[in-house]
Amino acid sequence: MKKAKIKIGILGFGSRGVSLVQPLLDSGTDVEIKWIIDTDIKQSKFFFSHWFFNPDNENNKYCHPKVNFVKSFSEVDRNEIDALLLTASEKVRTDLFEEALSFNVPVFMEKALSNSLEGCNKILTAFRAKADAKVFMGFNLRYNPLTEEVKKIIKRGDIGKPLFIHYLEKLREAHGASYYRRLSGRLEHEQGGMFITKSCHDFDLVNYLIDDRPEKIFASCKKVLFGLGGENARKNCHECDRAFECEHEMTKVMNKREDLKYYNDLYIGESPANSRGYVPDNCVYKESLLTDMNNLIAEYRGGLRLNYAQILFAAKPGREIGIFGTHGSLQYNLNDQELKVNTRWNASEYNVKANNISGNHGGADPRIMKAFTDMVRSKGESPSRIEDGAWALVMGYAGYRSSASETWVDVNEMAKEAGIKEK
């Protein structure tokens, strides 16, 4: 007998919500996008028809009988939903998490888990109060094809016990600048800073690969290029008197005519996105609290040391990762499809190639949607737990506390503050 389609609801239909629709449809599981829950219905409909298909076309196979665009959970028919994706900002997801659990369906929780330690505590308390709640943390780096290979190599013992990890996250300059352009102001209050909204992926990846938790953290965050203020800083791009000489002027960053058209349709003049004041048009040099060079050292319970750095101004993007163990080491760039393993005394050296998989985030998005919908179908346990999200968040806040105080921070103390109960 043919299985019924999984009826999906998506809370928060901005960049992330939109970007998960195609991976869901491509996941190989029969799904139906049934509810788009976003306070801005005009924008939701605009995005839907721009990126996918006209939602009012009843003949469309993906949205039959039709997608319902609603503003809040209260308008969702609880008998007509099998799974929820929470893809609004960290703050909105924290505020609405308990209500999301009341639907009694599996929940996909975007990273980062929350925008504060109190928020994390609130989420974990709500989760524990609901014994059968199923929450899948959206750490898509775990679903990068190379990650699977690294996990296997470590498990086989090819490099022995991991003792040291070098991890450099490099954001291409235009990507780094986009955080200042889009999110300056909002990031600190709604999404946390870079250690929270971005590095949580990396912290989780390390915790996942070595299956351990950090004990103490030292960090230092600094602004070196963007957000410094000064005489060349302005309010935004479209009113700027220096646009002709600025390499970050918005229209110069767009290298395709269609991207520019999309930008103009969406953000300039009377447009859906403008109606909520979301315009990625801030001057990237305007004074900001965001930092573009972030370093963090973590000492783990099992003795491993992580040396993490994140820069927002690289010419080429990537994550350079080196794992050094008692019997060998492995090194790779997560953006490539290959890693190199060297064993002790140069006894052997081999390369591992990952299967080339298409899709957003190096093929990780379709795979994470497949894993989530498999969990929904099988009613199995979540492979990516809410506590994993809490630990990644705590590492980020420990980093900020350390950077502000210029001292080592006890992570276990902060884990208690965040409501983490597991040892």
Ligand X SMILES: NC(=O)c1ccc[n+]([C@@H]2O[C@H](COP(=O)([O-])OP(=O)(O)OC[C@H]3O[C@@H](n4cnc5c(N)ncnc54)[C@H](O)[C@@H]3O)[C@@H](O)[C@H]2O)c1
Site residues (vs ligand X, CB under 6 A): 11-17, 37-40, 43, 87-90, 92, 110-111, 138, 140, 191, 197, 276, 278, 361
The smaller minimum CB distance to ligand X, of residues 146 and 341, is found at: 146
The smaller minimum CB distance to ligand X, of residues 17 and 325, is found at: 17
The smaller minimum CB distance to ligand X, of residues 90 and 158, is found at: 90
Smallest gap from residue 275 Cβ to ligand X (A): 9
Residues 6+ apart with CB under 8 A from 261: none
Residues 6+ apart with CB under 8 A from 272: 40, 42, 43, 45, 46, 47, 266
Nearest to 356 by CA among 343, 368, 370, 367: 367
Whether omega for the bond prior to residue 65 falls within 30 degrees of 0, making it cis, is yes
Measure the CA–CA gap between 53 and 178, rounded to whole angstroms. 28
The smaller minimum CB distance to ligand X, of residues 40 and 281, is found at: 40
Smallest gap from residue 413 Cβ to ligand X (A): 26
The smaller minimum CB distance to ligand X, of residues 11 and 415, is found at: 11
Smallest gap from residue 156 Cβ to ligand X (A): 29
Indicate the SS3 state at residue 94. Answer: helix
Smallest gap from residue 315 Cβ to ligand X (A): 22
The smaller minimum CB distance to ligand X, of residues 26 and 215, is found at: 26
Measure the CA–CA gap between 75 and 358, rounded to whole angstroms. 36
Phi/psi at 337 (5° precision): -110, 20
Smallest gap from residue 326 Cβ to ligand X (A): 33
Smallest gap from residue 71 Cβ to ligand X (A): 7
Whether omega for the bond prior to residue 112 falls within 30 degrees of 0, making it cis, is yes
Smallest gap from residue 46 Cβ to ligand X (A): 11
408, 218 contact by CB (below 8 A): yes
DSSP codes, 187-223: IIIII--HHHHTHHHHHHHHHHHHT--EEEEEEEEE-
The smaller minimum CB distance to ligand X, of residues 60 and 360, is found at: 360
Mind spelling out the 3-state secondary structure of 348-372? CEEEEECCCCCCCCCCHHHHHHHHH
